[in-house]
Structure 1
Amino acid sequence: MEFGLTDNFLTTKMELFWLLVGIGIGAIATSACWVSWNYAKQRHKRKFRKRSHNGFKDRSIHSLKSWAENLHQNSRLERESSESIAPDDDEVESLLAKIVEVAPIGYIQVDQDNRLAICNERAATMMGIANHHHGLLRKPFLLQLIRSYELDHLVEKTRALSHSDQVDWVFHPAIPDPANPVPQIGRPIRAHSIYLGRGQVGIFLEDRQEAIAITQQRDRWTSDIAHELKTPLTSIRLVAETIESRVDASAKIWVERLLGEVERMTKLVQDLLEIGQMDVGIAPPLNLKGVKLSPLIQAVWSTLEPLANRKQVKLNHIGDTSLTWQLDESRIYRLLLNLFDNSIKHSPSLQSITIKTSVVDSTLHIETIDAGDGFPEESLPYIFDRFYQIDLSRTRSGLDRGGSGLGLAIVRQIVTLHHGAIDAKNHPETGGAWITISIPTQTNSVTNTL
């Protein structure tokens, strides 16, 4: 009995022990689960806080940058706005009036009725306007103060075409007192017009007296040099002709070349002298006769053929081979020689030079066209001026188109002697120089006056 109670007690203790063990294991498991869940929760919170903090930080940086950029841009716009505040109309008008008055060039302005609205002091002095007042409150008509057909025509042309124009002329002031006439000295003027809208025209006036004086001095110097060169050239020619028959056959070719160069220099000097004579109104006489142009063209080309062959440049003549015209043959020969020489020098290799001859309305037309660099647009008005040379940096080849600057000047002189006209431009197809010469019908009785 006692043994049975002991067994039951032991059994009960064992059951209680295992119950406590089970409760402990459950508690431990529960604690572990709670710890694990709590750790995961805290970790999630930390990640969330970190992500939120980083997001706020990025947004704050972005916002600060934008704010700073906007502040800088607004400050710049405000500064530029304050600096670019336009003055009112009165200030602009006053400023322009000051600029016009102190300008180193004459300026006048007329309204739609040809009344003189603006005239600065320099223009008044240049055009002989007495009692000049700032602003010209009366606004008289232009022709009341400046009696010049050229100036009036320039204003009308500018207004009609609505674009700028230019004219050169010699202005002769009106005699102030017809009862006591005093000779008035003409003043060379260059006027450049601008269209201002609403019928208003502005004109800049340039006094060309000093420039023309310099040109005349240069021309006199050229004429004096040409006179001085005649004597030594004549001496060189006489010496060369004397020794020509006394040298060996092998050296004779050099004497012949020397004589050729002396002849070329003599003709150049003669051309310079004739240009000088034409400047003072003395035209040398022409030796007119019927000249067949085709054989003359071929003769000139044969002279320059060695130069053309080096570049393999060919001549293309378009026109009636039997065409005959009253011309001074020796001068037309020099004219063609200068034109061909100029074209050959500035034509690319393996190209052709075209010369066209035709008769239209009793006028002979001679055109030469090459495939070279052509003329810069700004140089076209000065191509035929003496000693004018194109800026080498403006040409593709960098070659000297004008040489001494006399070739085309001599060409124009010869055309003028024949009472003709000459024009230079660039050909639309080849891009090269395109020179057109027009010579009217000539007779042996033509009087050469300028």
Structure 2
Amino acid sequence: MKLELLWLLVGIVIGAIATSSCWLSWHYAKKKWNRKLRKRSQHVFKVRSIHSLKSWAKNIQQNLQQDLQPKYRDQNGNGFIEHDSERLLWENIIESAPIGYIQVDQDNHLNIFNQRAATMLGIMNPQQGLLRKPFLLQVIRSYELDHLIEQTRSQSMGFQVDWVFHPAIPDPVDPVPQQGRPIRAYSIYLEHGQVGIFLEDRQEAIAIAQQRDRWTSDVAHELKTPLTSIRLVAETLEPRVEPSARIWVERLLSEIERLTNLVKDLLDLGQMDVGIEPHLQISEVNLADLVRSVWTTLEPLANRKKVSLQYIGDETITLRIDESRIYRLLLNLLDNSIKHSPALQCITIKASIVDSKVHIETIDAGDGFPEDALSHIFERFYRVESSRTRSGLDHGGSGLGLAIAYQIVLLHKGTITARNHPETGGAWITIALPYQNPTTSENLQTSQPLRK
């Protein structure tokens, strides 16, 4: 009996060892196969992620230049494809693409378009549309599209433009209201004067953005009442607490004030979305004094990083502006500059008068903006991904600061642009505001450092 039990245990041990060996062999083979698959997949799928219409179009242009190189040239030096198979493949890709595409020759004849482009631009009878190679203007009437083609052809490089396309009325005698369609277009230069245009329908994206903005406005409206109640409670408690604890109540009131201003800004943005412009309290304001006032507010934050400010411009420039709103504008811009500036750096504000406008420039030495983010900088809730900045740091923020700055400038009938400064590499924001007293432009400019 004992001998049988011993052989049973030996059999169990041998079976366990065999099972483990099989499992280890299978596991090793699986890992080896996975490594081989990953290696092959990395070799085959060397394709960058497509983040925008612009990058997608550039990839297509590079592929066209490589794959559709002319095999022969005629007597005039014009290239042509050896076989029609490559051209047929290209046309099939364009027809199956999720975006619209049109192509014109050097004389602006419409040579190619797909069904999506015909739907977006209202091209009638797309099946027979190219039998006679019509001029683009005969089929599509759009100043923005014409200008994009000419710009691309004259500079031999691609450009991007956003506009609202309004189809032509088919029957002027019996007009039917035509709804505009927001479109984003990116052009590519195809040599010999030919231009290709990729078209993206932005209608759904804009509808989603409008829905988001309405939701934000509704939430801000609901937050207004409870914030007022919390402020009243905090103000009531402030004189009743111990002096040592009063600093916490003051900090609470400061945060409530910040949230109240944010809610007010959101409500103002919501009103402007529906065409209601907030009332401006216009007064004469000295620009240099206003900059110093803003910097005084931000000085504790700047001192932590040992960041200084330099004002370059005429000390006597005065503007007719809403002081509180321009104060908020400068506060947002300088706050961003401080957050993104390295330690021991200087932020510069330049003021100059050009063509009856005051130009206010803020320049820092921070990370700057990624090139593909420049067209979105002033959009609400847009934040640059931390992985796309050179430092890789996430500086936080709600994504509303520059959007609010943009709306404040519009309220003052001005313009604002964002670029990267060629010398510092940091953010370069330029604001142009109307100036009612251009004779002072003859004054000499001076440089004045602030709060070093």
Alignment correspondent of 2:304: 310
In structure 1, C-alpha distance between the alignment counterparts of 2:436 and 2:252, rounded to whole Å: 36
The answer as to whether partners of 1:320 and 1:357 remain within 8 angstroms in 2 is: yes
In structure 2, C-alpha distance between the alignment counterparts of 1:182 and 1:170, rounded to whole Å: 18
Look up the equivalent residue of 1:245 and give its one-letter code: P
In structure 2, C-alpha distance between the alignment counterparts of 1:407 and 1:272, rounded to whole Å: 11
Could you report, residue by residue, the CA deviation over 1:5-24 in whole angstroms, capped at 9, with x for unpaired residues? xxxxxxxxxxxxxxxxxxxx
Alignment correspondent of 1:219: 213
For residues 234-245 of structure 1, the aligned pairs below 5 Å read: 234-245=228-239
In structure 2, C-alpha distance between the alignment counterparts of 1:206 and 1:267, rounded to whole Å: 37
Partner SS for 1:245? helix
In structure 1, C-alpha distance between the alignment counterparts of 2:195 and 2:361, rounded to whole Å: 39
In structure 2, C-alpha distance between the alignment counterparts of 1:428 and 1:108, rounded to whole Å: 36
In structure 2, C-alpha distance between the alignment counterparts of 1:136 and 1:396, rounded to whole Å: 48
Gap change, CA 1:348 and 1:287, over 3 Å in 2: same
In structure 2, C-alpha distance between the alignment counterparts of 1:116 and 1:196, rounded to whole Å: 14
Q: Which has the larger radius of gyration?
A: 1
Look up the equivalent residue of 1:108 and give its one-letter code: I
For structure 2, list consecutive stretches of 5 or more residues without a partner in the other structure: 1-70, 72-80, 438-452
Alignment correspondent of 1:206: 200
Gap change, CA 1:171 and 1:361, over 3 Å in 2: closer
2:66 is equivalent to residue 100 of structure 1:
no
Shift of 1:208: 0.7
In structure 1, C-alpha distance between the alignment counterparts of 2:392 and 2:422, rounded to whole Å: 21
2:340 is equivalent to residue 364 of structure 1:
no
Alignment correspondent of 1:259: 253
In structure 2, C-alpha distance between the alignment counterparts of 1:207 and 1:357, rounded to whole Å: 40
In structure 2, C-alpha distance between the alignment counterparts of 1:249 and 1:415, rounded to whole Å: 42
Alignment correspondent of 2:134: 140
Partner SS for 1:397? coil
Alignment correspondent of 2:278: 284
Look up the equivalent residue of 2:159 and give its one-letter code: D
Q: Where in structure 1 do 4 or more consecutive aligned residues deviate above 4 Å?
A: none
Shift of 1:135: 7.6
The answer as to whether partners of 2:356 and 2:436 remain within 8 angstroms in 1 is: no
Could you report, residue by residue, the CA deviation over 1:355-387 in whole angstroms, capped at 9, with x for unpaired residues? 122223321121111111111222111111111
Partner SS for 1:225? helix
2:160 is equivalent to residue 166 of structure 1:
yes
- How many residues are matched? 358
- Which of 282, 286, 293 lines up with 2:287 in the alignment? 293
Q: Which moved more, 1:334-343 or 1:96-105?
A: 96-105
The answer as to whether partners of 1:293 and 1:325 remain within 8 angstroms in 2 is: yes
- Which of 359, 369, 375 lines up with 2:369 in the alignment? 375
Alignment correspondent of 2:423: 429
- Which of 115, 125, 131 lines up with 1:121 in the alignment? 115
In structure 2, C-alpha distance between the alignment counterparts of 1:168 and 1:394, rounded to whole Å: 24
- Which of 322, 327, 333 lines up with 1:333 in the alignment? 327
Shift of 1:251: 2.1
In structure 1, C-alpha distance between the alignment counterparts of 2:270 and 2:340, rounded to whole Å: 29
Look up the equivalent residue of 1:243 and give its one-letter code: L
The answer as to whether partners of 2:364 and 2:428 remain within 8 angstroms in 1 is: yes
Alignment correspondent of 1:19: none
Partner SS for 1:358? strand
Shift of 1:429: 1.9
The answer as to whether partners of 1:367 and 1:435 remain within 8 angstroms in 2 is: yes
The answer as to whether partners of 1:191 and 1:206 remain within 8 angstroms in 2 is: yes
Look up the equivalent residue of 2:132 and give its one-letter code: R
The answer as to whether partners of 1:389 and 1:401 remain within 8 angstroms in 2 is: no
In structure 2, C-alpha distance between the alignment counterparts of 1:322 and 1:183, rounded to whole Å: 53
Shift of 1:348: 1.2
- Which of 398, 412, 419 lines up with 1:418 in the alignment? 412
Alignment correspondent of 1:192: 186
In structure 2, C-alpha distance between the alignment counterparts of 1:112 and 1:361, rounded to whole Å: 38
- Which of 105, 108, 111 lines up with 1:111 in the alignment? 105
For residues 398-417 of structure 1, the aligned pairs below 5 Å read: 398-401=392-395, 403-417=397-411
The answer as to whether partners of 2:285 and 2:323 remain within 8 angstroms in 1 is: yes
Alignment correspondent of 1:274: 268
TM-score (norm 2): 0.76
Look up the equivalent residue of 1:282 and give its one-letter code: I
Look up the equivalent residue of 2:423 and give its one-letter code: E
Shift of 1:207: 0.8
In structure 2, C-alpha distance between the alignment counterparts of 1:430 and 1:204, rounded to whole Å: 35
Gap change, CA 1:90 and 1:403, over 3 Å in 2: same
Alignment correspondent of 1:76: none
In structure 1, C-alpha distance between the alignment counterparts of 2:284 and 2:328, rounded to whole Å: 17
Could you report, residue by residue, the CA deviation over 1:327-351 in whole angstroms, capped at 9, with x for unpaired residues? 1110111111111111111111112
In structure 2, C-alpha distance between the alignment counterparts of 1:402 and 1:162, rounded to whole Å: 40
The answer as to whether partners of 1:119 and 1:135 remain within 8 angstroms in 2 is: no
Gap change, CA 1:402 and 1:364, over 3 Å in 2: farther
Shift of 1:398: 2.4
2:341 is equivalent to residue 347 of structure 1:
yes
For structure 1, list consecutive stretches of 5 or more residues without a partner in the other structure: 1-85, 444-450
Partner SS for 2:294? helix
Look up the equivalent residue of 2:91 and give its one-letter code: A
The answer as to whether partners of 2:373 and 2:384 remain within 8 angstroms in 1 is: yes
